């Protein structure tokens, strides 16, 4: 339960920081962040089936997502294309996980 309390506390602090950016609470402000979190987790090596993952992997996933997003912004790609690139990254990460799980099992 301590982990849930910590998670709730951090979510509350994040909400306050996001609200302070616009000086108002907007319910759609963080729309899309959950997909970014999923992309970071999958790129970081967290199994979609559950069971394993690491903090270092999450940092690597966040770094990869940051590089891809910055490169897409630098290439003047629209937000729709940036979302498409993230979706392709998720698809590739899931395929890679499936491949490595099958190799490990035999």
For residue 1, what are the CA distances in angstroms to 6, 8, 27, 51? Answer: 9, 11, 27, 20
pLDDT score of 6? 92
| Whether the predicted pLDDT of 35 surpasses 80 | yes
As a whole number, mean pLDDT of residues 14-20 equals 84
Reported pTM: 0.74
Distance CA 7, CA 10 (A): 5
Structure tokens at 39: 């992309």
pLDDT digit string, tens, across residues 50-83: 767 888 988 999 999 999 899 999 999 898 999 9
pLDDT score of 25? 72
pLDDT digit string, tens, across residues 2-11: 889 999 999 8
pLDDT score of 97? 85
Domain extent listing, the chain: 1-29, 32-105
């Amino acid at each position: 339960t301590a982990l849930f309390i910590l998670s709730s506390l951090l979510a509350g602090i994040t909400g306050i920081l996001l609200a302070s950016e616009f000086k108002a609470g907007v319910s759609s402000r963080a729309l899309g962040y959950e997909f970014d979190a999923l992309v970071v987790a999958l790129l970081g090596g967290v199994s979609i089936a559950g069971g394993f993952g690491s903090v270092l992997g999450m940092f690597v996933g966040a770094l990869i997502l940051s590089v891809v997003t910055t490169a897409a912004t630098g290439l003047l790609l629209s937000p729709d294309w940036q979302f498409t690139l993230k979706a392709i990254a998720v698809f590739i990460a899931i395929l890679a996980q499936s491949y490595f799980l099958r190799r490990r099992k035999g």
